[in-house]
Structure 1
């Protein structure tokens, strides 16, 4: 069945109407004429699984990545970047109900500072779109940068030399499972973390990556298909460093950090600009991405984070930058006395704010609330609840994730007088 892509849905898939059916087709652009041969139901959406673009739209651009169209990492490389920004602005309007300007990423290739590469019997690379078991074999990743090619070449040499077993995803068997590559975009420091099942790693392993700042061996002792584990050993530096503006952060294999360092500069600058008063609560503080920046600019900062290891890293980052900030372990729902802060910064996971926390915000009524969100849907629901006492003073979007449908949003909320 043949049809024309009318537009993109919120997930970046092209929408084609075939009779009474609305089919969502990946890797297509508005104006494409597509032949849809098969589809499957995903929740309440029909998603094409076998299709062909028979007449490309004039709006298309040439993807830089040779694996585009099969790899599940990027969905929009064929859409001109200006159109990607427009799509994300329209997405926020549809979900939030008000217009939000989206600030483009300073770089749209070589911007990611972390990639998690699957090592499997089916290949070394990323998941094939629409599957959990199949892998697209790659030699490098353009959205990460050229160092990915060098690391993967060294990895293949290591595997070939020692004939090590690769992980079978379906069978849950095999030794080598992931290689996680992290890079300080502003420092040039490189980390290679090999994640394996339990077993013996040849002692020659670190020599294959002698150009890296930090080399790790981590062991995943669970059947879960995840790209992290218990640190078994490291060579070189314990951390790599990333520098966002005038603040330096230590990066560890098991710590979260914003994946687009270039756009992260604008993100922290926006948060600083919106903060008011002297006393700030940095909730979901992580490794201190916002808290250390705020403290360096004279704010009195208290950070609360559920992950004890992230709290430890935040304390180290404060010490590294010579600032005074207090970080402690705690749950969002247990926070008390929010009224003592001039500004509360929240950067929750995709699930959004816990209902108990929203209740406490509405009860304690801190004057200023800065909400950093990676999920517009949960943001919309939280904003509706918070509107009982707050009004939106400013909202911006930041494209932290070029070539994907994802967008970061920063909203400043002011207590109604």
Structure 2
């Protein structure tokens, strides 16, 4: 039977997909239903029909899952920032373990059936965990609002009390919206107006220090906003401006300037402190980062004779967890400010056996090998796009003895493992829930050269 748009059908949900959507079969056709849970019997309306599957909108739950809960967030359905808040938290953790199995089954790295996938490590309190906020700002009827775009749309959903956002950063963005309105600061409009388009706020868990970046499509006067903001929130240490004139979905442009305060804030993980400049990457869930980095240290299992490469090193945080445990540490990142932070962080910790360079890992690592450097261990924490193809080729050429792959995307992880298993044995995969109530998880993979 051919499904048609607006057709209403009954469906039994067999499992959850990688985006947290319910999946069922209707007359042998795969149907995806946002908001449905495994085991539920639902009534839904077809919204899109493709050659091999269909999308549907949930209309009614005829038989709910016993693990379904009422989301505490009033804008949960509209926002789209979280996908599985309607699933009981312990079952969210089971789902995230299953995510890894689904991805491995799709890409089928050799021997994947025998990989040890350890249960996902969750949080005791999975609320207000996001220490970094990145909200769009727009003006409606003379009032500036801040929030996230509704999924697959350009409709901005105002967020004033987000259940997963750190409460201090939420209070600050609420005040920023008021001040941008009060002082009539130009606000970006995709059609015609140049001005402030995005605000980034990050709070250090170890020190409570806060940094802010105003991203705008043209220079704007923020003097009064900065004055009132720093008076209201003394924990603010840095306010920066980033110019992004592009029409793309990229958040940042190339130009960043400190408008007020210090160049960086101080954060801590495990047993050491480090500096974070505004553009530098750091995990958005600092409490679970303690767990994640601890698992990475355990998985790499270094000795004093090891020489370590920290690819995609950012400000050096993961690599510096091995300070004093290895003979040398080297790292690279494409953001020059992050490399300067990494150098400063290593110097601050008294790590003299470290070296950091700005650039692409697939270019720098071969150069180091040509210069005579030999790594025995490597840790790689790439962006969601996974390891660059050229870097994969580089790793399979030079083959350090042991490797830890820290991933924030199960699909690109499984894809990359299909190549890495040519030279490495997967000892185990440990999932860590860095993003409660979303369909994302982080994973630490222990690899040893064959």
> TM-score, normalized by length of structure 2?
0.84
Residue 254, structure 1, aligned to residue 279, structure 2: yes
Deviation at 1:280, TM superposition (A): 0.8
1:100-150 residue CA offsets vs partner (Å, 9 max, x unmatched): 12221354111111121111245421110221x111112132212222342
Q: More relative contact order in 1 or in 2 (CA 8 Å, sep 6+)?
A: 2
Q: Secondary structure at the match of 1:194?
A: strand
Report how many aligned residue pairs link the two structures. Answer: 414
Asked if the contact 2:180–2:225 (Cα under 8 Å) also holds between the matched residues in 1, the reply is no
Please list, as runs of the form range in 1=range in 2, the aligned pairs for 1:176-195 lying within 5 A after superposition: 176-195=196-215
Please list, as runs of the form range in 1=range in 2, the aligned pairs for 1:376-387 lying within 5 A after superposition: 376-387=410-421
Q: Which moved more, 1:398-407 or 1:148-157?
A: 148-157
Change (3 A) 1:44 1:18: closer
Match of 2:20 in 1: 12
Please list, as runs of the form range in 1=range in 2, the aligned pairs for 1:124-203 lying within 5 A after superposition: 124-131=146-153, 133-169=154-190, 171=191, 173-203=193-223
- Find the aligned partners of 1:187 and 1:47 in 2 and give their Cα distance: 46
Q: Secondary structure at the match of 2:436?
A: coil
Q: Which moved more, 1:174-183 or 1:95-104?
A: 95-104
Match of 2:430 in 1: 396
Change (3 A) 1:362 1:174: closer
Which ranges in structure 1 are unaligned for 5 or more consecutive residues?
none
Please give the root-mean-square deviation of Cα atoms over the aligned residues, in Å. 2.4
Q: Which moved more, 1:141-150 or 1:75-84?
A: 141-150
Asked if the contact 2:265–2:277 (Cα under 8 Å) also holds between the matched residues in 1, the reply is yes
Change (3 A) 1:388 1:217: closer
1:160-196 residue CA offsets vs partner (Å, 9 max, x unmatched): 3123343223x15242211111111222112222222
Match of 2:108 in 1: none
1:245-273 residue CA offsets vs partner (Å, 9 max, x unmatched): 22212222211111111111122112222
- Find the aligned partners of 2:168 and 2:288 in 1 and give their Cα distance: 20
Q: Secondary structure at the match of 1:70?
A: helix
Residue 214, structure 1, aligned to residue 235, structure 2: no
Asked if the contact 1:184–1:241 (Cα under 8 Å) also holds between the matched residues in 2, the reply is yes
Q: Secondary structure at the match of 1:90?
A: helix
Match of 1:224 in 2: 248
Residue 236, structure 1, aligned to residue 254, structure 2: no
Change (3 A) 1:5 1:73: same
Asked if the contact 1:92–1:99 (Cα under 8 Å) also holds between the matched residues in 2, the reply is no
Asked if the contact 2:204–2:265 (Cα under 8 Å) also holds between the matched residues in 1, the reply is yes
Residue 330, structure 1, aligned to residue 359, structure 2: yes
Pick from 94, 107, 120 the counterpart of residue 102 of structure 2. 94
Asked if the contact 1:117–1:124 (Cα under 8 Å) also holds between the matched residues in 2, the reply is yes
Change (3 A) 1:8 1:22: same
Match of 2:380 in 1: 346
Deviation at 1:81, TM superposition (A): 1.1
Q: Which moved more, 1:219-228 or 1:187-196?
A: 219-228
1:292-332 residue CA offsets vs partner (Å, 9 max, x unmatched): 21124454101122332221121122123232221112322
Asked if the contact 2:280–2:335 (Cα under 8 Å) also holds between the matched residues in 1, the reply is no
> TM-score, normalized by length of structure 1?
0.91
Q: Secondary structure at the match of 1:85?
A: helix
Q: Secondary structure at the match of 2:82?
A: coil
Which ranges in structure 2 are unaligned for 5 or more consecutive residues?
1-7, 105-111
Deviation at 1:231, TM superposition (A): 2.5
Match of 1:77 in 2: 85
Change (3 A) 1:43 1:246: farther
Deviation at 1:50, TM superposition (A): 6.5
Please list, as runs of the form range in 1=range in 2, the aligned pairs for 1:246-395 lying within 5 A after superposition: 246-273=271-298, 274-277=300-303, 278-324=306-352, 325-334=354-363, 335-336=365-366, 337=369, 340-395=374-429
Change (3 A) 1:9 1:151: same
- Find the aligned partners of 2:277 and 2:443 in 1 and give their Cα distance: 26
